[in-house]
Structure 1
């Protein structure tokens, strides 16, 4: 067993802390501490420790709805196990949101603005970074019913989650794109930036800054949460499942599955791509059976390494390196 503290599983209190921050990343430490049963100083100190070792980190994601409104997306896979240099180049390409090595090659989830022709050019440029890519598979996304931002640890009770959840003021009007972009940039810089600091940066009063952030979050322009290194929570095995479904199949069956962290509906003969996380690969059969008879699995492959997720670069153990390279 490794003696490196970065490789250790998170303690139960830390799992509860991460789940709390997934529910409400900006909740005051006093509120979080009360819910998980520690004092505020302990909650803040433990977060600083697990964040410093890359086991968990704050992240800002655009919602799938905003993806659909502003951009096109595609899943790109090359058959080759690309070189570390090419993999690093992929990860440092801002419009590549995720990169994974798998048992059938290296895949990337990419986005583009300006139509499919512009996205096609980006894909061409990406593949050109690989000396000998082998067969290249490209499938365009019709929808993203679930992305990593909605995946949660299941540590806190329903009551604890409710106590942490932020109530939204009804009737808030949608903010403009400029305001949404400004809020997104500030949250990426510091997800827990104080209202006073945020107001000073925006050149407005504290109350105005708070309302602006509330509007951005309430209208689904961005999700703010807490991501976690999968090995640190005992989920060090990943599988991608390709499937086709009957016309009456309800994709919510996939979205609600606790093991599923990403669901893509692609334009192709097997339209569903489902990414799962497990403690052991033996869990896959039970998860697929739970999806019911309306979906037919046509292929599966194992994720051997996650290199980038939602713009965050990961090390060989799936921990955050602290580097973010993303342009939604």
Structure 2
């Protein structure tokens, strides 16, 4: 078991912010933006990865057609540890969080269709040892996601330079990932900065072929790269989710306003009594109160119905985490990254 790691330094945060904007930027380009050297940045990134403090991975993109749902579970306290372990190893549960406030666990479920969601939530979860109750919130639209969230370590000029470096041409071959590309996808999920030559050696394929496949994946909207950070080691260790009801006539204005919050990690329209769910990373519980007051003042038509505090994240987008939120190095490839 890893010991408690020190807080991230300013240089660490700047590098992570860089890779949030441009996950596969070259070390040479990153060094020009950050005023460092490629060797220094590569060594710093290796240290962060090995410590489980940050990592680059991939997930299904905006046009994948996946069904996303957030599932609340009540579990038997005597079977909690075993239940969490079983769920963390299930590829359909992309994320697993231990929470307070009316439920014990919250799962982020990503599956290919509604039949698969019904099977998981109506059949498999109720039959899981330790699970007492299941409540499902189906996402109708994901407005913002974790990959959109940014640290505040770079200035505007640095961010603009990295956005320009991250631009890529649109894929001429569409957004469907060919079956032949999936071994490459799996390796990119484990290390989103791995180059084509390394992947080719690992899977025993021709380097030129793998380079073409990587280029196609980089240009495809069916796949998205993201740089993750261990939340407890960042400046925002408090995670809270709010459920709200918003008149449909005010939805667009609400989404636009909430999207300006720098703490926003996730913003989703859902089916049900609460039609909007948003998750924030905050600096402190006092910061949560400030944000709630701000939301009430700016959006008087929004009715907050419930808040849920995350106590510990055990799995995030397939990556298993330790008690401090650091990547253990173990990945359960999400269902969304399995070939159809």
TM-score, normalising length: structure 1: 0.88
* 3-state secondary structure, aligned to 1:209: helix
Two-structure CA RMSD over aligned residues (Å): 2.4
- In 2, the alpha carbon distance for the partners of 1:137 and 1:279 equals 29
Cα deviation for residue 232 of structure 1 reads 0.9
Question: Residues 42, 138 of structure 1: CA spacing in aligned structure 2 closer, same or farther, 3 A cutoff?
Answer: same
Q: Gapped runs of 5+ residues in structure 2?
A: none
Question: Residues 193, 177 of structure 1: CA spacing in aligned structure 2 closer, same or farther, 3 A cutoff?
Answer: same
- Checking the alignment, whether the CA contact within 8 Å between 1:202 and 1:209 is kept in structure 2 is no
The range that moved more, 153-162 or 76-85, is 76-85
- Checking the alignment, whether the CA contact within 8 Å between 2:16 and 2:54 is kept in structure 1 is yes
Number of the residue aligned with 2:269: 265
Number of the residue aligned with 1:241: 242
Number of the residue aligned with 2:16: 18
Which runs of structure 2 are paired with 1:2-81 in the superposition (5 Å)? 4=3, 6-66=4-64, 69=65, 71-80=66-75
- Checking the alignment, whether the CA contact within 8 Å between 2:170 and 2:220 is kept in structure 1 is no
TM-score, normalising length: structure 2: 0.85
Query: Does 2:310 correspond to 1:303?
Result: yes
Number of the residue aligned with 2:278: 274
* 3-state secondary structure, aligned to 1:249: helix
Residues 108-161 of structure 1 show CA distances to partners (whole Å, capped at 9, x for unaligned) of 111223x42332111231232232x34421222212222212211121122112
Number of the residue aligned with 1:100: 97
Which runs of structure 2 are paired with 1:147-226 in the superposition (5 Å)? 147-165=145-163, 166-169=166-169, 172-174=172-174, 176-178=176-178, 181-198=182-199, 203=206, 205=208, 209=211, 212-226=213-227
Query: Does 2:118 correspond to 1:125?
Result: no
- Checking the alignment, whether the CA contact within 8 Å between 1:313 and 1:320 is kept in structure 2 is yes
Query: Does 2:85 correspond to 1:88?
Result: yes
- Checking the alignment, whether the CA contact within 8 Å between 2:267 and 2:276 is kept in structure 1 is yes
- Checking the alignment, whether the CA contact within 8 Å between 2:55 and 2:191 is kept in structure 1 is no
* 3-state secondary structure, aligned to 1:192: coil
The range that moved more, 122-131 or 229-238, is 122-131
- In 1, the alpha carbon distance for the partners of 2:20 and 2:270 equals 28
* 3-state secondary structure, aligned to 1:242: strand
Cα deviation for residue 192 of structure 1 reads 2.2
Residues 265-297 of structure 1 show CA distances to partners (whole Å, capped at 9, x for unaligned) of 211011111111111011123323245224221
Q: How many pairs were matched up?
A: 318
